[in-house]
Structure 1
Amino acid sequence: MAEGSYIGGFTDHHVHLQLVDPNRLEQSLLGRVLDLGSAPAAVSRFAQIVAARFGDDPSGVSISYAGAFLTPPGGYPSDRAWAPPGSVREVATLADAAAAIAEMKAAGAAVIKIASNSTAGPVFGDGMINSIVRTADQLGLPVVAHAEGPGEAERMPGLGVRALAHAPFSTPLSDTEVARQAGRIAWISTLAIHDGEAREIAIDNVRRFHAHGGTVRYGTDMGNGDSPVDLNPAEVEALREAGIRGAALIRALVPVAATNGRRFLLPARDADPFDVVPAVPVRPTSGA
């Protein structure tokens, strides 16, 4: 028998399925994706189609999702042409927030996504974010934040946000701040969407965050630009540049448990995601 680990593919923790052809995922090295901003009815339909197609023997990709971005009136990305109708909920009051969270939960959301981009419009105050976090927690939904602009990433851990949708790229974080974040919040990488200074800042922040033991999750912001509907070589290379290699890189990719359908063999020695090869399905035998 070949040596290594059988997996069902890797996890991309930041995609936008309304901006790509989700059917292409079935030919990819991905086994699970987390959609962080789509119209809840549309992304729920994608997930239901996949579940119905493969039933108890999934050969496709597991889809989890947040549903719509929650943002203040006029906040990011409410004015963006790329944001599909229904993918943004503008929230003005605590009652609005509670209703939006309940709506996402009813649509099958696994997380709640808030937008906090001070470079593109108004952002929620601390009290509103804390209220959103408490309400979502009661429904078992962790909150993920798009934090952009001076000070936005820094305030999220103290408000109970569980993950940043993008590794901080607006400003270099101090070593003290990086160490503080490492023990309190996860970062979803999305390094390859940047270039120039923003890329340098993001990679340096991630390098130090990882060195302090912070949890880095592979994510690409799939749908942002011409990104592959697959494992993204540019994102993997950026993670390596940030010092996340070998077993640490595999942990960031969060391999999915192998199923009776499509499986891959990950060689134990190299621990390189591009070394995986398709593995022959193994059917369970009946009887004692």
Structure 2
Amino acid sequence: MLAATFFDGERWRDGVVGLGADGRPQLRDEEPSPGTPALAGRIVGGFTDHHVHLQLVDHALLASSRLGRVVDLGGDPSTVAGIARHHSGGSSTRRGSDASRTVHYAGAFLTPPGGYPSDRAWAPAGSVREIADSAAAATVIEELVAAGASGIKVASNSTAGPTFSDALFRAIVELAVAHGLPVVAHAEGPGEAQRVVRLGASQLAHAPFTERLDDEEIAEQAVRASWISTLAIHDPAARVIAIDNVARFHAAGGTVRYGTDMGNGPTPVDLNPTEVAALRTAGLDDEAVLRALAPVDPLDPRSLLLLLPPGSADPLAARPLTAADLKV
């Protein structure tokens, strides 16, 4: 066993690390004995990408990535559920099954008839459900709950078609909350980010990029919702707006979650250096970026463990911890 310093999601702590019964490194929350040799470096759990689309990438690449958890925000529920089982070890007879990665998913986008992204060629079959009224919403949400959804994704893009009325959006939120599920909203178009949060969305799938929110709106958002960054996907003008909004949101105490919209263009199936750089431009230091990355619990024996160089908190410097690292 080696003495180790690890990040628990909020702060650095001391523990010990060695090989588990399965031959993989395992961290324990124990005070190292005096004289215990120390690991050369610091440990974090595998990182979280809070906004991915696994049907649009080669999801098998997750197995060699630094991501321990991903959240799929728009796909065919049955297909994405199968991908989730594969990476959780639920399909252990398959070659390449990897039990150290966790996939959460919202299932299909909920949108009004003709709403975004129902007309997009990139949207896989089954990834969009068009909702006309609260009865239809109740039926679809029941189906998504049965499919294992961990949240409900609602599209509210006024630049690309109709959006839900306030009453129907609020009804969708109430139905989701009744099942213990948060609503994650794709908000695009003037005033949409403010509207969907006012109506009960607890998370924005993209940090607001249509317009600069004023400081009062930022303060309200910081209290009522978290933002998934997705800064790197935007064209230069929208990226400037989004980074400015995130900088003031973070300064106001808002919760920023790292997310890349993986699958939107040629994004890596791994930690995205461009996204990390944009978060730094928005004023997040290394430890704030680590918190945005929401590492998985490193004390869970199933978790992917990453090693940072001695004294470093830069997530881009992380690599998987191996048995070779534990040799004295």
After TM superposition, list the pairs within 5 Å mapping 1:23-62 onto structure 2.
23-51=60-88, 52-53=90-91, 59-62=99-102
Kept in 1: contact 2:256–2:292 (CA 8 A): yes
Displacement, 1:60?
3.1
Give distance in 2, aligned partners of 1:181 and 1:164.
10
Q: Is 2:160 the counterpart of 1:120?
A: yes
After TM superposition, list the pairs within 5 Å mapping 1:103-182 onto structure 2.
103-182=143-222
Displacement, 1:61?
1.3
Kept in 1: contact 2:87–2:99 (CA 8 A): no
Give distance in 2, aligned partners of 1:242 and 1:2.
35
Percent identity between matched residues is 59
Give distance in 2, aligned partners of 1:66 and 1:243.
30
Displacement, 1:277?
3.1
Kept in 2: contact 1:7–1:264 (CA 8 A): yes
Q: Which runs of 5+ in 2 are unaligned?
A: 7-42
SS of match in other structure, 2:161: coil
What RMSD over aligned residues (CA atoms) do the two structures have, in Å? Answer: 1.8
Give distance in 1, aligned partners of 2:82 and 2:320.
28
Distance 1:58 1:229, change over 3 A: closer
Distance 1:2 1:193, change over 3 A: farther
Displacement, 1:58?
6.0
Match of 1:229, as an amino acid? V
Distance 1:268 1:71, change over 3 A: farther
Q: TM-score, normalised by structure 1?
A: 0.93
Residue in structure 1 matched with residue 12 of structure 2 by the alignment: none
Q: Is 2:185 the counterpart of 1:185?
A: no
Q: Is 2:315 the counterpart of 1:273?
A: yes
Displacement, 1:260?
3.4
After TM superposition, list the pairs within 5 Å mapping 1:185-224 onto structure 2.
185-224=225-264
Give distance in 2, aligned partners of 1:54 and 1:144.
31
Kept in 2: contact 1:15–1:35 (CA 8 A): yes
SS of match in other structure, 1:4: strand
Displacement, 1:280?
3.4
Q: Choose from 274, 285, 305 the match for 1:245.
A: 285
Count of matched residue positions in the alignment of Structure 1 and Structure 2:
281
Kept in 1: contact 2:63–2:98 (CA 8 A): no
Distance 1:173 1:180, change over 3 A: same
Kept in 2: contact 1:15–1:220 (CA 8 A): yes
- Pick the structure with greater CA Rg: 2
Distance 1:20 1:175, change over 3 A: same
Residue in structure 2 matched with residue 286 of structure 1 by the alignment: none
Higher strand content, 1 or 2: 2
Give distance in 2, aligned partners of 1:176 and 1:63.
35
Distance 1:144 1:234, change over 3 A: same
Q: Which runs of 5+ in 1 are unaligned?
A: 283-288
Tell me the alpha carbon deviations over residues 20-39 of structure 1, each in whole angstroms, 9 at most, x when there is no partner: 01110010000000000000
Q: Choose from 248, 260, 265 the match for 2:301.
A: 260
SS of match in other structure, 2:122: coil
SS of match in other structure, 2:224: coil
Give distance in 1, aligned partners of 2:67 and 2:110.
27
SS of match in other structure, 1:214: coil
Kept in 1: contact 2:76–2:108 (CA 8 A): yes
Kept in 2: contact 1:54–1:60 (CA 8 A): no
Displacement, 1:281?
5.6
Displacement, 1:3?
4.5
Tell me the alpha carbon deviations over residues 138-190 of structure 1, each in whole angstroms, 9 at most, x when there is no partner: 11110000000001001122211110000000000001111111111000000
